[in-house]
Structure 1
């Protein structure tokens, strides 16, 4: 299998990262006020990030942009064995750059699941973590059928290094060979074990946060739903999450592209970016054993009340931006402290491309700031 690309240094300077931070502005959609940032070197504030165009998302977008709409509507992915193998290989080829972070110790361990399976976990910490005693439990993405903890080493090291927040990632079992709801119960078991044995992890039990990207964001929200009301989870961070996998429409959620804004000179190419996740979203999840919506796999159609403070992010050209914005609306309606951050010019997935996308480092800064704001309130 071809390995992921590795780069020996960051693709951007500290000056460029600060320029990205300074693009931040506020937008309002009904009751929801949220933050938007854009790449300083894009052709406009709605333009595509140039770094994305040279990668696999950009390359695929260049082909999909020419597919007529009436043909695209019928391009649904079939999740057979060969496609799943190919998808898993692609998940292991995420590009990242060495950010030269020293002093962060990485150790591998395991937590015993309720069915006696040993769930692998990976712990990231340095000597200053004992000062905060905060812990971020991270759950990787991969459409429930793929992904590993390996591509997230750099971003979690960076979080530890910058904010002295200990991190722990879960290598949960995947669908479909492990039947639903195994990925969920694995995550529940780890969260519950950490809470009940917080001293083993040198963590305060009231400083445990859950975080996940894409399908991992769904699993993180499921953990908050599972333990709602008992204060086990202090806050959650949902990174371009899938929350409405059966695409049930209501006042905040509508299918299609009407709620996207495009840079006019890049409209077709931008649609090509969106189509990649739209095609995966249109896939019938019954193929992997999720046969009906429930409060864990489809939290969007259930009550948002009682959730912990929530941070959400998505790329403006990610079809799952719909899930992020719609859930942020519902959380806000329910009185939940909610921070929504949208990155213009990006599609789906960026935190695991740390050192390549400056947005990944900016996101880590936003996550650490959010966690500290909850701890210190």
Structure 2
């Protein structure tokens, strides 16, 4: 191979390297230079006529929120659960709070639902910069409240709802858990955080080591964060924007934290997992080697994606097994 490969790309496996090179060719300039609208157009995913995981029960639903209605997709696996209403995962898509669509996570939501037996709800929360923080957090809170309230209509157990997401969606899932704990509201049974941005200091070693990583560079991450919190903001943000700022993580739901080896966000996410453990939260952290930020939702593209989805499925099944044991 004669193409120059950045030093930070050296750990990538063969699949990931090919995808990284394809992304570099498809994006002529960095996302921060494209701007939100052009980046959305270039990176938008198209719905597949033949999804890799067919499901008969995929419903488009309308969720009422404090700011109006938003659209969501509800994925339900085949058949009826043998033990009553099924558990559900509210899954929040990534995209740096600026990008991302329901279509972009369609395949991964289908795969999680089919393999785990859980229903999966994927909401289309408001995006920055048009709707900066805390719009996405508010939408996430309102969607979870709606899911709890309407759970019987969809065959879902309101007491067995987890939250999760990748990248920005992981941040929102973590923020959601903190907000509910702090306000004395019912907590999800678990949180699934896939390479979540949790700190606004950008100071851990991976921000420098993988500054020119594929898909998400350190400079682009800074730009996306500025769009989310609002340009020129100098007064700092609270723990619901940057969960690492929470004084304590004690009392939060059990967590699964997945990271990618070649990712500026890696060290922050793993430090958050360490803090969860330190504060007494049962936490499993898995780093997937040879891949970069964004791999989790690329079903059928990265070999590691399948393994990461299996991590999530095992975790969710563990949640249901623990609940069954506690009530028997």
Short-chain TM bin: 0.7 to 0.9
Distance 1:313 1:232 in 2: 21
> Cα–Cα, structure 1 residues 57 and 281, in superposed 2: closer, same or farther, change >3 Å?
farther
Q: Gaps spanning 5+ residues in structure 1: where?
A: 1-45, 64-74, 261-269
**TM (normalized to structure 2)?**
0.83
2:263 matched to 1:318?
Answer: yes
2:243 matched to 1:299?
Answer: yes
> Cα–Cα, structure 1 residues 275 and 163, in superposed 2: closer, same or farther, change >3 Å?
closer
| Residue number among 290, 307, 310 corresponding to 1:365 in the alignment | 310
Shift in Å, 1:319: 0.7
The within-5 A match list for 1:1-377 is 47-56=11-20, 60=24, 78=32, 83-93=35-45, 100-115=52-67, 117-128=68-79, 130-131=81-82, 133-228=86-181, 229-247=184-202, 253-254=204-205, 256-257=207-208, 272-273=212-213, 276-283=216-223, 285-290=225-230, 291=233, 292-302=236-246, 303-377=248-322
Shift in Å, 1:235: 0.2
Q: Structure 1, residues 99-130: CA drift from partner, whole Å, max 9, x if none? A: 64334421101111113x11101011133353
Distance 2:31 2:52 in 1: 39
Q: CA RMSD in A?
A: 2.9
Shift in Å, 1:194: 1.2
Q: Gaps spanning 5+ residues in structure 2: where?
A: 1-9, 323-328
For CA contacts below 8 A with separation 6 or more, give which structure has more relative contact order.
1
122-131 or 302-311, which moves further after superposition? 122-131
**TM (normalized to structure 1)?**
0.73
Shift in Å, 1:197: 2.7
Shift in Å, 1:159: 1.5
